[in-house]
A and B are shown apart, each in its own frame.
Chain A
Amino acid sequence: MSEALLRVEHLTMRFGGLVAVNALSFAANRGDITALIGPNGAGKTTVFNCITGFYKPSEGRIALGHGGAAVWDELDALTRRDARSLVRPDGALFLLERMPDHLVARRARVARTFQNIRLFPGMTVLENLLVAQHNTLMRASGFTALGIFGLGHYGRAERAAIEKARHWLALTGLVARADDPAGELPYGAQRRLEIARALCTDPMLLCLDEPAAGLNPRESAELNELILTIRAEHKVSVLLIEHDMSVVMSISDHIIVLDYGVKIADGAPSAVRNDPKVIAAYLGVEDEEVAKVEAEVGL
């Protein structure tokens, strides 16, 4: 049993009277590929937006730990202290619901992609990947003050950044398109570029929001390979929202099923696949069973 990387506890998100996510708790383990699935409107993207800091949850705690398991003992103390994070030599703990979005990406090292691709279309593929390394390069340029005069080690840092970009481009098969504007790439390549860009931020947790949407079966299979390679070679844990069951079932270690903002199943792919509540949520149930299922779910 590996240790937890991300712990979501009693996460609730209300938009006015609408409860998009209701008291959701789950954990994602380090090195795992965790999938979040559910019918349309189940609240999956809302959970993503809460984890990555784009939404402030109405209630609940989202904790992310780097390094050893020992830091998790400090979780309650940290929560009471009203602090955002705890950084120790043996690890760090972050309360993501207290952090603004850019700090979630920068300090807690959670990277994400978007359901409808958000690249910088007028910038080249390479520039997209350098923007992702903004904070490293910013430090190297002495926050512009040194870089503007060509002082410091900015040139070296930029070459290193380009090498890192080349590495991810090679993995996503985009080296030949490096100097083309991102907006000119075909759809599947734009999806891969968005993943490569997220990886350039050196994430601990990579959140992919429907990465296989709009891909053909061959591209989906390549995507599976890519996600597995990322996990294997770079020790990046993955949190995945996906509708494409061929992706979800074949690569996930752990699946959480949401329906109407409530968790209805949580477990290994084989267990989730045969769960009657999941089948009911996706395929619907006979009328007489509705009351029984609703009672179980807690509606």
Chain B
Amino acid sequence: MAGRGVEAPAAAVSTDFTHALKDSALAGLIAFGLFLPLIGFHAVQDIRNELVLETRWPLLFAFVILAMAGRLFGSLVVTPWRERRAARPRAVAAARPGATLARLFAPAATGFVIVYPLLVLWLAGLGGAVKWVDNFGIQILIYVMLGFGLNIVVGLAGLLDLGYVAFYAVGAYSYALLSQTFGLSFFMLLPLAGILAAFWGIMLGFPVLRLRGDYLAIVTLAFGEIMRLVLINWVPVTNGYAGISGVPRPTFFGIPFNATDEGFAAVFGLEFSPIYRTIFLYYIILALALLTAFVTIRLRRLPVGRAWEALREDEIACRSLGINTTSTKLTAFSIGAGFGGFAGAFFAARQGFISPESFTFMESATILAIVVLGGMGSQLGVAIAAIAMIGGTEALRELDVLKEVFGNGFDPTQYRMLVFGFAMVLIMVVRPRGLISTRQASVHLAERKAIAGTLVKEGRG
């Protein structure tokens, strides 16, 4: 009895291994079939400009062997590990030691982003810090802010908006045109750009009030495209494809950031460096992003925020409780659009140049991806997702080490979409409701409990 008991698992292991081998051979065969036309053959132009077919057998077999090894690893290591994990009883969720850590994470992260430019300045010096503050600081924070803004519309109110970039464009062009025409300052025009974008949010909101889900998504997508086409074709005002250059930069309470005697560096007795403007811009966008986060957190605890979430959960029930769904949706659209407008005005002021190129559907898709990836409705999740998406893109630019591996012709930035597509699929498989999927209740009677993401409705309009 005991002998058979030992033998049986051994037999099982050996059949498992043969099965895994067969499986891996099949994967190799499929990989061979798939990669033969894609990688095995390579068309190059010779000196006489004629196409010559070359074969790349070593590379092809490298891919096939990689696929086989991956499959073997999957069936021998990953699958048994997952089965063991599934068999293990689940730990009680309440007794997680990470709870305190999670509560402290947001304040700690806020503290870090406040000291970040100074830290970089200290570590990288005056010259090297610009790239770190600009590419990894300002760029990410713009998307954090856009993510927070779209989160109100998609995450809280559940209205799927694929044309959010239109409001970003409204803000940017409002600032660029009004500052050039009337010479008003950045801080005067910032609220105005937000108000104009919010107004366009209402303009979009009215016709789409009766639409839901996919239909709403299509119309908002069209709205984004209309806005871009107007910017391209209304040449007398927007200068078309050529865009608007020489957009005035924000000044430090009237002191410009330039190399003249009235410039910031001269006034404060510092050596001139572009870093001062970059750090100033960093703190502006940080303040705007924190303002957006603060306002959203406050709104969630106010009746209007609860009405947004109720609207996402069940619109008919909302109407039966006397909630005016029209005005509730319009407030969500306009407040979300207003934050997009702020971000747009900042973008124009930072770049000094804007053109319709910056406001393509790709931008809307990126912002929506940040919201979905972060976990709809979660502020912290959106911030983390923006860092991962935008910071990750920037980080890929820095990865020159990959050139050592793949040869000098390799450009890592060309593969960033591939990497991100892969990362998105992976995260959606592992965490289908986004990085932070639990919902925090806005009010509590006895104890505050997190609500599992599976109960919360997704934004379907």
Binding site for B on A (CB under 8 A): 52, 54, 101-103, 105-106, 111-112, 114, 118-124, 126-127, 130-135, 137-138, 141, 144, 147-148, 154, 158, 162, 165-166, 175, 178-181, 183-184, 197-198, 201
Contacts and interface: CB of A to CB of B under 8 A. Distances in A.
Contacts of B312: 122
A51 B306 CA distance: 27
Interface of B: 295, 298-299, 302-304, 306-307, 309-310, 312-314, 316-325, 331, 439, 441-449, 451-452, 455-457
A223 B302 CA distance: 33
18 contacts: A102-B324, A118-B316, A119-B317, A120-B314, A121-B456, A127-B306, A127-B441, A130-B443, A131-B303, A131-B321, A134-B307, A134-B321, A138-B307, A144-B299, A148-B295, A179-B448, A197-B321, A201-B322
Nearest to B302: A147
B446 A178 contact: yes
A299 B178 CA distance: 71
Nearest to A154: B302
A112 B306 contact: no
Contact of B451 (A130, A133, A181): A181
A263 B72 CA distance: 72
A135 B310 CA distance: 14
A156 to B, nearest CB: 14
A141 B446 CA distance: 24
A123 B441 contact: yes
Given A141-B303, A147-B302, A181-B455, A127 B442 contact: yes
Contacts of B310: 120, 123, 131, 134
A165 B306 CA distance: 15
A76 to B, nearest CB: 28
Contacts of B318: 102, 131
A36 to B, nearest CB: 17
Contacts of A135: 322-323
Nearest to B316: A118
Given A123-B310, A141-B302, A144-B299, A102 B325 contact: yes
A45 to B, nearest CB: 13
A154 B303 CA distance: 10
A132 B444 CA distance: 16
- Most chain A CB within 10 A, of B317, B447, B452, is at B317
A204 to B, nearest CB: 13
A105 B443 contact: no
Nearest to B317: A118
Contact of A120 (B295, B298, B317, B324): B317
Given A135-B322, A179-B448, A184-B455, A114 B317 contact: yes
B321 A201 contact: yes
A183 B455 CA distance: 6
Nearest to B320: A112
Contacts of B320: 52, 54, 101, 105, 111-112, 114, 118, 198
A224 B445 CA distance: 28
Nearest to B325: A102
A22 to B, nearest CB: 25
B445 A166 contact: yes
Given A131-B321, A134-B323, A181-B452, A126 B445 contact: yes
B441 A148 contact: no
9 smallest CB-CB distances across A and B, nearest first, come from A122-B456, A106-B322, A105-B322, A120-B313, A178-B445, A137-B303, A118-B317, A183-B455, A131-B310
